[in-house]
Amino acid sequence: MVAPEINMPPRILLGPGPSMVDPNVLKAMATPLVGHLDPEFLGLMNRTQSLLRYVFETENQLTVPVSGTGTAAMESAVANMVEPGDPVLVCCNGYFGLRLADMAERYGGEVETISRPWGEVFTPDEVRAALEKRPAKIVAIVHAETSTGALQPLEEIAAIVHSYDAILIVDVVTSLGGISVGVDRIGIDVCYSGSQKCLSCPPGTSPITLGPRAIERLQQRKTKVISWYLDLTMIQKYWGSERTYHHTAPISANYALYEALRLVQEETIEKRWARHRENAQFLWDGLESLDLTMHVPLDYRLPSLTTVRVPDGIDEARIRQHLLSDYNIEISGGLGELKGKVWRIGLMGYSSRKENVLLLLAALERLL
């Protein structure tokens, strides 16, 4: 029997990722393949790097897409900065902070964590107190925690980290392209993201950028980066002027990333931030009109990912199932400490549109 053709339903993706993809990005993926060292592709690589600097708000030379999902960029950040025995501080207020801590331990870091309840953010004083108690060489924190919908302020924390001569690693997987990340303005040393959130690109490429302090640390390592595939000392030679072969780049995925970034530039990054914020407020107002409560206070609520508390007596999984089967809408449940307690609603990139908000609110009103 011949296997059936792929026939996926055109879902309205309003979960924590992937987001819906602009038709122009899908069209770009159908572009004929060329070799990963073809002169035309090398030119595309240069333009892609320039566009990545635009969305990261940086002039960093080492700004590249790692071939892999956002977790690959996360691991690349840790693998290249952490050497065995290094003291590492990880700020954990959600699922992905815990993942950073796990990775740092696996690469030999002497990891210490500080914690906040899921849905809250860290104060600068908490980070300062932890570093006074035990100085660290690397501090890792999540800017936009996908598991909770909390948006972490970074300006003061970055200054404190640098006052202790530590490297700051920041996860912007759910904020890049939807909220200002300000790599150069804030002074983030290592910043990474994924393609499938606010950039509205299929998963498979993960942007990362390293500032001057991170480059210096990378050059002064006493040991080789343990991960061969994620070793940026080699990857940068492929993306730099040498164009030294490292691995076969995912050509179609890079086409998609380039087109997604080009669309960001076409809209302008400032208008894109404003659109995400405006549509998020539209969603929040609508949810409150249904007597639903946001999990994260407004002051540090993430525009691209909203966590909504499940009302007492409601089977949250059943509501999600009906949204999918009856209305073709995907949202997600909670992770970790918030499992069964919240819904996670994403308005990211191409998914962040008022018609999607109206459809979701109407469907929730009927189901609840």
- Reported as a single tens digit per residue, the pLDDT across 206-227 is 999 999 999 999 999 999 999 9
- Reported as a single tens digit per residue, the pLDDT across 256-274 is 999 999 999 999 999 999 9
Q: In the prediction, which pLDDT does 121 show?
A: 98
* Residue 107: Cβ-neighbour burial (10 angstroms; 0-12, 13-18, 19+): buried
Q: For 187, phi and psi rounded to 5 degrees?
A: 90, 40
Mention the CATH class of domain 12-17+269-367: alpha beta
Residues 32-59 have a mean pLDDT of 97
Q: What percent of the chain has pLDDT over 70?
A: 100
pLDDT band at 34 (very low <50, low <70, confident <90, very high): very high
Q: In the prediction, which pLDDT does 218 show?
A: 97
Residue with tokens 């691209």: 304
Residues 281-299 have a mean pLDDT of 98
Q: In the prediction, which pLDDT does 71 show?
A: 97
Q: In the prediction, which pLDDT does 347 show?
A: 98
Instruction: Tell me how far apart the alpha carbons of residues 288 and 357 are, in angstroms, rounded to a whole number.
Output: 13
Residues 302-321 have a mean pLDDT of 97
Q: Please report, for the chain, the start and end positions of each structural domain, with discontinuous segments joined by +.
A: 12-17+269-367, 23-265
Residues 225-233 have a mean pLDDT of 97
pLDDT band at 335 (very low <50, low <70, confident <90, very high): very high
Residue 129's alpha-carbon distances to 78, 123, 134, 137, 230, in angstroms, are: 23, 10, 9, 15, 33
- Reported as a single tens digit per residue, the pLDDT across 96-116 is 999 999 999 999 999 999 999
The Cβ of residue 89 has, within 10 Å, a number of other Cβ atoms equal to 27
The candidate with the shortest Cα–Cα distance to 97, out of 129, 136, 139, is: 139
pLDDT band at 188 (very low <50, low <70, confident <90, very high): very high
Residue 153's alpha-carbon distances to 170, 186, 305, in angstroms, are: 11, 10, 16
pLDDT band at 126 (very low <50, low <70, confident <90, very high): very high
Residues 223-240 have a mean pLDDT of 96
Residues 273-298 have a mean pLDDT of 98
Instruction: Tell me how far apart the alpha carbons of residues 305 and 196 are, in angstroms, rounded to a whole number.
Output: 13
To 10 degrees, what angle do helices 316-327 and 354-367 make? Answer: 120
The beta strands (E) that lie in the chain are given as 12-13, 62-67, 87-92, 110-115, 138-142, 144-145, 150-151, 167-171, 190-192, 205-210, 305-309, 329-330, 332-333, 342-346
Cis-peptide, bond into residue 18, ω within 30° of zero: yes
Distance of CA 15 to the CA centre of its chain: 14
Instruction: Tell me how far apart the alpha carbons of residues 271 and 282 are, in angstroms, rounded to a whole number.
Output: 16
Instruction: Tell me how far apart the alpha carbons of residues 228 and 219 are, in angstroms, rounded to a whole number.
Output: 16
- Reported as a single tens digit per residue, the pLDDT across 238-248 is 999 999 999 99
Q: What percent of the chain has pLDDT over 90?
A: 99
* Residue 226: Cβ-neighbour burial (10 angstroms; 0-12, 13-18, 19+): middle
pLDDT band at 171 (very low <50, low <70, confident <90, very high): very high
Q: In the prediction, which pLDDT does 352 show?
A: 98
Q: What is the DSSP string of 148-159?
A: TTEE---HHHHH
- Token digits of residue 87: 């003291």
Domain 23-265, classified CATH 3.40.640.10, yes or no? yes
